[in-house]
Chain A
Amino acid sequence: DVKVTQSSRYLVKRTGEKVFLECVQDMDHENMFWYRQDPGLGLRLIYFSYDVKMKEKGDIPEGYSVSREKKERFSLILESASTNQTSMYLCASRSVGEAYNEQFFGPGTRLTVL
Chain B
Amino acid sequence: QKEVEQNSGPLSVPEGAIASLNCTYSDRVSQSFFWYRQYSGKSPELIMSIYSNGDKEDGRFTAQLNKASQYVSLLIRDSQPSDSATYLCAVMRTGGGNKLTFGTGTQLKVEL
Contact = CB atoms under 8 A, between A and B. Distances in A.
Contacts of A41: 104
Interface in A56-114: 56, 58, 90, 94, 96, 99-100, 102-108
Contacts of A31: 98
Interface residues of A, number: 23
A36 to B, nearest CB: 12
A76 to B, nearest CB: 15
Q: Report the interface size class on chain B.
A: 20 to 34
B14 interface: no
Contacts, number: 49
B88 interface: yes
Nearest to B3: A59
A43 B43 contact: no
B17 interface: no
What is the predominant secondary structure among interface residues of chain A facing chain B?
A: strand
Given A42-B105, A43-B88, A105 B49 contact: no
B97 A103 contact: no
A106 to B, nearest CB: 6
B42 interface: yes
A108 B8 CA distance: 22
Nearest to A30: B98
B56 to A, nearest CB: 10
Interface of B: 8, 31-32, 34, 42-46, 49, 51, 88, 90, 92, 97-105
